Amino acid sequence: MNIALIGIGNLGKAIQQIVEESQHEIVSTFDVNSTIESSAFVNADVIIDVTHSEAFLTNLDTFLITGLPIVVATTGWYDQMEEVKAKVNVAKSRLLYAANFSLGVNLFLRIIQQAAHLINPFEAFDIAVAEQHHTGKIDSPSGTAIKISEKILDRLERKTAIKSRLAENERIKPEELNVSAVRLGSVFGQHSVFIDSGEDSIELRHTAKNRLGFARGALEAAAWLIEQTGKKGVFTIDDFLNDRLM
């Protein structure tokens, strides 16, 4: 697999490290400020974007001209999802995106969804989400914590809204899903789900050890997207996982 890598920040460097240990090759690399022309992708099989939302949206038209499959690990552009989908469909191209490409995280999301489904009939069980990240992380709660919460709300009827911040002396309402965030030192990333009743406590946790898991997931998804020659449009990490877990 020949890769055009857009973005050489922390995740881009992790992808480079994984590629060095594999049979794949990065044939072109661009930083977030590069001026990109479609001719630069002539030797690539796939484009992987790990920049930021503004750069991705600026470069999307150029990506689509190439006709190559596009993997997007950049977030912050989802409010323009319909416009992106329309462009991809018009170009008859294919694009796969995810807020988090870690295979462990995405399997964890499925475990959480099933856990919420299992406690749904039993009113005695309450549930909450907590996450920890380093002090440099901007979004709070994290995008992954929000995704976890959405999976819970999808399967647990008695929870109808996410509550991430409580005012002084405010109590959480029964229908609210409490999602708390801690910013601490250099903690790489930890997400926990707590299930509690008067008789039992269950804790489910995912801890990211480094960025290599995110990089490996992005490469796995890129290889899968290349294989989907008969399909066009916008895909998610769930499409990839559904196929792999069949």
Give average pLDDT by consecutive 10-residue segment, the chain, 246 residues: 93 92 92 84 95 93 96 92 97 95 95 98 98 89 92 98 92 96 92 98 95 93 96 96 90
- Phi and psi dihedrals of 167, rounded to 5? -70, 165
Q: How far apart are CA 212 and CA 57, in angstroms?
A: 25
Q: How far apart are CA 27 and CA 3, in angstroms?
A: 6
Per-residue pLDDT at 138: 80
Per-residue pLDDT at 176: 98
Active site positions, annotated: 133, 137
Per-residue pLDDT at 40: 87
- In the chain, the domains with their CATH numbers are 2-101+211-244 (3.40.50.720), 103-207 (3.30.360.10)
52 SS3 class: coil
Give the burial string for 91-117 (b: 16+ CB within 10 Å, else e): bebbbbbbbbbbbbbbebbeebbebbe
Omega of the bond leading into 174 within 30 degrees of 0 (cis): no
197 SS3 class: coil
Helices (H) and strands (E) in the chain, counts: 7, 11
pLDDT digits (tens, 9 = 90+) for 35-56: 888 888 999 999 999 999 999 9
Chain position carrying tokens 């993997």: 71
Show Cβ contacts of residue 134 under 8 Å, excluding neighbours closer than 6 positions: 183, 184, 185, 186, 187, 188
- Across the strands, what pairs with 68? none
Closest by CA to 66, choosing from 88, 81, 85, is 88
Inter-CA distances, 10 with 7, 51, 142, 230, Å: 9, 10, 17, 33
- How crowded is the C-beta side of 17, counted as CA atoms within 13 Å? 13
- Across the strands, what pairs with 47? 4, 70
Written in H, E and C, the secondary structure of 133-193 is ECCCCCCCCCHHHHHHHHHHHHHCCCCCEEECCCCCCCCCCCCEEEEEEEECCCCCCEEEE
Per-residue pLDDT at 143: 83
pTM for this prediction? 0.85
Q: How far apart are CA 50 and CA 72, in angstroms?
A: 7
